[in-house]
Amino acid sequence: MTVTIASLTLGPLGNNVYILGDEESGAAVVIDPSFEPRRQADEIRRRGWTLRQIWLTHGHFDHTEGAAALRELFSPAPLVGMHPDAQDWVRTYGKRFSFGFRSAPLPPVDVPFYQGQRLKLNPDGGKLMVEVREVPGHSPGSVIFYCAEAGAAIVGDAIFRESIGRTDLPGGNHPQLISAIRTQIFTLPEETRLLPGHGPETSVGYEKVHNPYLS
């Protein structure tokens, strides 16, 4: 199985949307669909893939905004995955912390995420390709998705190039985030690419040396 990771930077907040494609089966997963769902659907179809799942790293509106609309653009509808604590955050705070944007409702969640869970790109079969790791602190229920075969982890807003996710919103916890990064991200191979929700990609090895919050 060959995994390709495509990315689009979309919307007014510069969100990075990642598409994981299985070149053999054509199954695709969108991680954090954010804004402009039709552009994402067009990219998936341009590559000859079919969207089978939508995975959400956490509950902040700019990472979930396009999930419901993107789900409706494919038949059968793709499965949606999210950590239960992230779902609770959306139910409690989602409307209050959309910062003036009209946020779309979260679609039904089919796959609850948990620490150490292994995921397939094609839910109907194939190899377990992606590991779920919990990284709370930026927001409750935050997770990253690590694909060893691709040498990459999609890390949401947990860590950025020379920075980390904000912890001042409800449910944020700075010491918890620092601990989660050290135990769940910095334990990955140093050459692992870190693909964040905003800004340029980085790597485990680079952040160990250059991230002022962690070095």
Q: What is the pLDDT of residue 96?
A: 61
Q: What is the pLDDT of residue 43?
A: 98
What are the pLDDT digits (tens) for 139-169? 999 999 999 999 999 999 999 999 999 999 9
Query: By CB neighbour count within 10 A (0-12 exposed, 13-18 middle, 19+ buried), where does 132 fall?
Result: buried
Supply the DSSP symbol for 77.
P
Q: Is the pLDDT assigned to residue 100 strictly greater than 70?
A: no
Non-local (6+) Cβ contacts of 119 within 8 A are 55, 81, 111, 128, 129, 130, 131, 132, 145
Beta bridge pairs of residue 133? 144
Q: What is the pLDDT of residue 7?
A: 98
Q: Is the pLDDT assigned to residue 102 strictly greater than 70?
A: no
CA nearest 139: which of 105, 165, 120, 116?
165
Q: What is the pLDDT of residue 206?
A: 98
Instruction: Please name the residue that has the structure tokens 């769902």.
Output: 37
CA nearest 99: which of 125, 65, 138, 128?
65
Domains parsed from the chain with CATH numbers? 3-102+110-115+129-210 (3.60.15.10)
Q: Is the pLDDT assigned to residue 215 strictly greater than 90?
A: no
Phi, psi of 109 (to 5 degrees): -95, 125
**Quick one: average pLDDT of 41-49?**
97
Q: What is the pLDDT of residue 202?
A: 98
Query: By CB neighbour count within 10 A (0-12 exposed, 13-18 middle, 19+ buried), where does 154 fall?
Result: buried
